[in-house]
Structure 1
C-alpha cells in the first residue's frame, strides 16, 4: 500500500501524462500507473501529429485549436526539447474537382478559427519543391505542428512530479460506500485516491469495465513506414484530400490515405492506414504497399529511398469519432479521458486541462458536453 494521492491516472501515454501535468499544476498530488513502460501503447506508435487541418468545425476542432496553443506554451515551458516543430500542413488535391471540395472545407474551417491559405497549382513547389507535377492545388495550414510523442510524454510526466508506477497492471477499481471510487488494485498492491482517471487509450474500455462502466473503445490498426535519414526533402505535413474522409469513416476495412512528413532527425515518416482488426499486429503487406505507392505518387523522389523499418499501432476508436472526456455518470470519482483515435497526441493538452478543471471543480475551458462519457450508456 502506498501513501494516498489526490488522483490516480491509469495510463502513461500522452493523454495520461497531460492529465497528470495539468492536475499537478492545479495543486493535486498524482500517481500514474501503467502495465507497461511510459508511452508504450498508441503514443509510442504515433507520428506526433498536432493537426487542425483534418478537422471539420465542431467540438473536436475546438479541442484541437485549444491544444495547439497549449502545445506552443509547453514547448517553451518544458525543461528539455520535445522536438516541437511548427512546420504547418499542406493538403493537396489531384485535380480541380478535388480542389473545389478542399476549398469548401477550408472556408468552413476558417469560420471556426482555423488559418487556411489557398495555394494555386503553380505555387505548390514553393512550399514543397519535390511534389509531383500536375496537382490541382492545395491549402496551407500554418497551425499544424509536430512533437516527438515519447519525448513529450516523458517530459510531461517529469514536469508533473507524479509518482510513476510502470509495469503494474490495474486489476480492479476500488470503491466504497455509494460506489464512490477510492483507488485501484494492482498486482503490487492497492493504491488509494478519491479520483481515478481512465486514460488507458485503446484499453480504455477494459478499464471502464473494471469499474462497471461502459465505453465501446475499439482498436483501429495503422502502420508507419520510416525511411533512411535524408536531407529535408519534405518540409510540411503533406497529405491528399481523401485523408479527411478516411479519418471520419467508420469502415472496418483497410483504408490508406497517405501522410508524408520529414523529421528533424532526418527520416521521412509515411503513415495513414487504418483498419479494425482487433489487436492483431500481423504485418499487412497490402497496407504497406498502398502507403508506399501513394507516397511515391505525391513525392516521386521517394521511389529511390530505402525504408529502414515499419511499425504498427492501435488507435482508440469510438463510434462517433469523439473522445470520451469527463466524469462517469454512474461511478462517483471516476473520470474518462480516452478514445481520441489518431488525434490523441494533438488533443492531449486540452484534454488534460479539461480533466484538471473537472477534478478541482473549476470551469472547463470549453463545452465538454459533446465528449461526455455517458453518451454511450446502453439503453435500459
Structure 2
C-alpha cells in the first residue's frame, strides 16, 4: 500500500479523470497517491452535467476514445454503486428546419462509418421520444449510445475501488516537482511536505498548464467558462439528453466569444439541467445574467413547459480547453516520469475511463487500448528549425 510519503505513482487532481487514472492504476497493481489542493470533484467535475456522449463528436481520435469509454462506463456501472446514477438513456439531437436536418444527416452518415449507432426521427415522430418537445421541429437523430452519470459521485466511488492501494491527500497544493540528477521525476512538493514516486500524472484539469510549467514544459490549457441552470424537481419531463443541432458546432469552435446552444436533460433526482454556454474569460466566476437569459430562452424554445418552472440555482465551471480540442494523454518525452491526462474540455467525464486505462497501460509498460499519438502532450511545441 502507499505510505504517507511514497507510492508507485502520484496523480495530481481528484476529479473524475484523476479518479479513473487512480482506479485503473490500482487495478494494475500499482500503489497510488492522489493529491488535490481542494476536494474530490471540487473543480470541473463537480460543475459538470455528467454527459457520456458520442453524438457530438466528429469521426477521429476523440470519438474513438469516447466509444471505448462508453463500453468502460457500462462495466463501471456494474462495479460501482447505484449512487453514481448511471443512465443509458440515449441522446436526441433536434433540428428546427430542413437545412438543419440535412446537416444532422450528413453528420450522422460520417459517424455511422466510425461505428456510431443513430436513427433518423421525422418531425412527427419526435413526440414519441419526448412528449413535451415543442411542436413544429423538422426532425432529429436519436443516439442510443449516449448516457449520463452523476460525476461527483462517480469520481468518489472510483477512488474507493482501489481500497488501501489509493491514498488521498486533499487540501494540499502541489508547489513543485521533485526531479533527479538527469531531470527524471522523483515526486512532488506540497505545502505540507514532499511525496515521492517515480511517476507523476497531471490530471489537474484547467490547472494542467500550471502544473506542466512547474515541470518546465508548456501545455497550453485554458479555462473555458460555462453555466448550468437547475430547475426545481419535476416529474419525468425530459427523457433523453436533448440538444439543438448548433450545439455540435459550438463544441468544435475555438472562439473565445460567448456561445450558447440549447441543451436540456432530466436527472433521476428530478431537477432538469439546462446548458450550454462557452466563453473564454479566464477564471472569472462572475454571474452573467445575459448567459442565463440565453440558456432559459433556448430551453423553453425546446420545451415550452419549462417556461412555467422555477430555476432554483445556477453554477459555473471551467472546461480545460486545448487549441485542437483534443486532450493531452500519455507520457511527456520532455520530462521522464511525467504523464498527462488533462485538456478534455467539456468531455472529461465521458472520456475519463478510457483515459485512465491508457495511463495505466503507460505506467505498467502495457499496450494502450488505442493509438495515443494524436494526444501526445508535446504536439504544441514549435517545430525545430
- Shorter-chain TM-score range: over 0.9
The residue aligned with 1:191 is 195
The residue aligned with 1:282 is 286
- 1:14-40 Cα deviation digits (max 9, x unpaired): 000000000000110000000000000
2:245 pairs with 208, 226, 241, which one? 241
Structure 1 residue 160: deviation in Å? 2.2
The residue aligned with 2:46 is 44
| Compared CA separation, residues 308 and 153, structure 1 to 2 (3 A) | same
The 8 Å contact of residues 271 and 291 in structure 1, kept in 2 or not, is answered as yes
The residue aligned with 2:123 is 121
Work out the CA distance in 2 between the residues paired with 1:177 and 1:355. 25
Does residue 263 in structure 1 map to residue 256 in structure 2?
A: no
The residue aligned with 1:232 is 236
Work out the CA distance in 1 between the residues paired with 2:247 and 2:81. 35
User: What is the root-mean-square deviation in Å for CA atoms of aligned residues?
Assistant: 0.9
- 1:64-109 Cα deviation digits (max 9, x unpaired): 0000000000000124531000010000000111101100000110
The 8 Å contact of residues 195 and 334 in structure 1, kept in 2 or not, is answered as yes
The residue aligned with 2:158 is 156
The 8 Å contact of residues 6 and 194 in structure 1, kept in 2 or not, is answered as yes
DSSP 3-state at the match of 1:177:
coil
User: Structure 1: which 5+ runs fail to align?
Assistant: none
The residue aligned with 2:145 is 143
Structure 1 residue 2: deviation in Å? 3.1
User: Structure 2: which 5+ runs fail to align?
Assistant: none
2:206 pairs with 202, 208, 213, which one? 202
The residue aligned with 2:73 is 71
Structure 1 residue 150: deviation in Å? 0.3
The 8 Å contact of residues 90 and 238 in structure 1, kept in 2 or not, is answered as yes
Work out the CA distance in 1 between the residues paired with 2:50 and 2:251. 16
Which TM-score applies when normalising by structure 2?
Answer: 0.98
Structure 1 residue 263: deviation in Å? 0.5
| Compared CA separation, residues 80 and 101, structure 1 to 2 (3 A) | closer
The 8 Å contact of residues 38 and 166 in structure 1, kept in 2 or not, is answered as yes
DSSP 3-state at the match of 1:259:
strand
Q: Mapping of 1:50-69 within 5 angstroms?
A: 50-69=52-71
2:317 pairs with 313, 318, 322, which one? 313
Aligned residues: 380
- 1:231-283 Cα deviation digits (max 9, x unpaired): 00000000000000000000000000121001000000001100000000000
DSSP 3-state at the match of 1:32:
strand
Work out the CA distance in 1 between the residues paired with 2:378 and 2:130. 45
The residue aligned with 2:367 is 363
Work out the CA distance in 2 between the residues paired with 1:378 and 1:267. 47
Work out the CA distance in 2 between the residues paired with 1:81 and 1:57. 32
The residue aligned with 2:23 is 21
DSSP 3-state at the match of 1:85:
coil
The 8 Å contact of residues 183 and 196 in structure 1, kept in 2 or not, is answered as yes
Work out the CA distance in 1 between the residues paired with 2:40 and 2:162. 14
2:356 pairs with 345, 352, 355, which one? 352
DSSP 3-state at the match of 2:276:
strand
- 1:93-132 Cα deviation digits (max 9, x unpaired): 0011110110000011011011000000110000000000
Does residue 169 in structure 1 map to residue 173 in structure 2?
A: yes
The residue aligned with 2:132 is 130
Work out the CA distance in 2 between the residues paired with 1:122 and 1:257. 23
The 8 Å contact of residues 89 and 237 in structure 1, kept in 2 or not, is answered as yes
The 8 Å contact of residues 326 and 372 in structure 1, kept in 2 or not, is answered as yes
Work out the CA distance in 2 between the residues paired with 1:229 and 1:298. 18
2:217 pairs with 205, 213, 218, which one? 213
The 8 Å contact of residues 80 and 155 in structure 1, kept in 2 or not, is answered as no
Work out the CA distance in 2 between the residues paired with 1:158 and 1:258. 35
The 8 Å contact of residues 5 and 194 in structure 2, kept in 1 or not, is answered as no
